[in-house]
Amino acid sequence: MKPISKVAEAVRASTTMAVDSMAKQMKADGLDVIGFGAGEPDFKTPDNINMAAITAISEGKTKYTPAAGIIPLRKAIADQLKTDCGVDYDYTQIVVASGAKHSVYIALAAVTNPGDEIIIAAPFWVSYYEMVKMTGGTPVIIEAGEAQQFKITPQQLEAAITDNTKAMILNNPSNPTGMIYSREELQQLADICVKHDLYIIADEIYYKLVYDGAEFTSVVSLSEDVKERTLLINGVSKSYAMTGWRVGYCAANKQLAKVMANFLSHSTGAPSTISQWAAVEGINGPQEQVEKMRIAFEERRNYIVERMNSIPGVSCIMPNGAFYVMMNIEKLVGRTLGGKLIENDDDFAVAFLEKALVATVPCSGFGVKNFVRWSYATSMENIKSGLDRLEKFLAE
Ligand code: PMP
Ligand code: GLU
């Protein structure tokens, strides 16, 4: 047979999804696995949202919708962006897609020509790297290690830009690091993007999950010029515990919004109509659950960070957003754990899963070595048991 697509062949499986399915399979096989793999809120979708979906079905709202989504949802999103981020978008600038992951993909597809360089800060969410390649771009990585709080500096950004640079991906708060850029830091990065006429693909899906009273600044609120060149990604998965409903969106200038809507109209069409009506209720309905979940995440973060730093051999810095902790395992390299020589984070994650039955994500797939990501979007009980197991595993 003739060779398959080179681009498709080069796509690697998502480590986050792979760890999650491995842990789920082990559980299904009767093993007592505790999962800290996928970043997925453990909370149930709030009842008012579920009810809105049931109502949509009974009212017959089960047919195709416009490719960019139903107008009530696009208006609800525009209103929310005004309230939460202080920015004005007309609903025609909002393009709804099947999850924020899909929105990132169509945003990249909308701006990328073959060979365009897209800047990504490492550690990065694993899918960015693959999606840049899938849409014909070349990923250019800027490394931001723990010593710089996993945040890139303006000097690093400036140094990474070439004549071929088209855009930078800016994930704030960050998955996997949980770090948040301050307004000043964002301004410095955004100024460079304006100076070099770059697009900004801003993924702010964790914006409601910030801790210690930290203030979140949306990059689009910095100036009209920044807003015009930004493709702002967000969605309901994380804030409303709606991962399985598959609703995300991109807000952009009218030309880009139209291009993305056209692209959608030939690929997936609109997301599930029922999910769209559920998302309307999520955004327009009572918001108490969102704050309750945020408070629970903050408590879990405080516990996990303190406990992890009390265990010899590992450490982590305090993240102030999202629901991830980056465990530094540098000191474990060269040791034998669970009968296995640990040479890197992949070895550690495999041994930890096989021997201690704890699923975490090795960060090599996120562009950084010797870190393992824990998602604390799981119960306090699981977190305590997971750290007990870590302590025992390292003590052996
Ligand atoms: N962006 C980031 C940074 C994420 O962590 C995720 C989680 N998968 C997504 C986008 C995609 O979310 P969704 O479930 O809406 O596709
Ligand atoms: N964003 C989550 C994570 O990083 C969900 C899995 C995925 O879509 O990659 O674990």
Q: pLDDT tens-digit profile of 292-335?
A: 999 999 999 999 999 999 999 999 999 999 999 999 999 999 99
Q: From CA 347, how far away is CA 370, in angstroms rounded?
A: 10
**Which numbered ligand comes closest to the C-alpha of 40?**
2
Token reading at 36: 């800290």
Per-residue pLDDT at 78: 98
Taking the C-alpha atoms of 270, 275, 279 and 280 in order, what is their torsion angle to the nearest 10 degrees?
80
Measuring from each residue's beta carbon to the nearest atom of ligand 1, which residues come in under 6 Å? 39, 99-101, 125, 171, 175, 203, 205, 235, 237, 243, 248
Q: From CA 367, how far away is CA 139, in angstroms rounded?
A: 11
Q: For residue 275, report the distance from its CA to the centre of ligand 1, in Å.
A: 16
8 A C-beta contact, residue 173 and residue 123: no
Q: From CA 346, how far away is CA 363, in angstroms rounded?
A: 8
387-392: long-range pairs with CB below 8 Å, 24+: 387/304, 387/307, 387/308, 387/311, 389/34, 389/356, 389/357, 389/358, 390/308, 390/311, 390/314, 390/352, 390/356, 390/358, 391/311, 392/356
Distance of CA 76 to the CA centre of its chain: 22
Mutate to test the pocket of ligand 2, among 12, 14, 16, 326 (most ligand atoms within 8 A of CB): 16
Per-residue pLDDT at 14: 83
Nearest residue to 46 (alpha-carbon basis) of 280, 282, 271, 274: 282
How many residues appear in the chain? 396
The structure's pTM equals: 0.96
Q: For residue 367, report the distance from its CA to the centre of ligand 2, in Å.
A: 15
317 Cβ partners below 8 Å, 6+ apart? 146, 149, 150, 326
Mutate to test the pocket of ligand 2, among 101, 124, 125 (most ligand atoms within 8 A of CB): 125
Per-residue pLDDT at 15: 80
Q: For residue 203, report the distance from its CA to the centre of ligand 1, in Å.
A: 9
Q: Which residue has the tokens 């109509």?
A: 273
Ligand 1 atom closest to Cα of residue 38:
8
Token reading at 256: 């880009």
8 A C-beta contact, residue 317 and residue 146: yes
Q: Which residue has the tokens 């040791």?
A: 335
127 touches ligand 2 (CB under 6 Å) = yes
Q: From CA 277, how far away is CA 48, in angstroms rounded?
A: 11
Q: For residue 354, report the distance from its CA to the centre of ligand 2, in Å.
A: 21
Residue nearest (by alpha carbon) to ligand 1 atom 6: 101
Give the three-state DSSP class for 206: coil
109 touches ligand 2 (CB under 6 Å) = no
Q: From CA 67, how far away is CA 262, in angstroms rounded?
A: 8
Residue nearest (by alpha carbon) to ligand 1 atom 12: 100
8 A C-beta contact, residue 36 and residue 152: no
Per-residue pLDDT at 260: 98
Query: CA angle, 344 as apex, 123 and 383 as ends, to 5°?
Result: 70
Token reading at 352: 């930890």
Task: Output Rg (C-alpha) for the chain, integer angstroms.
Answer: 21
**Which numbered ligand comes closest to the C-alpha of 275?**
1
pLDDT beneath 50: ranges in the chain = none
Bridge partner list, 231: 201
Q: For residue 100, report the distance from its CA to the centre of ligand 1, in Å.
A: 5
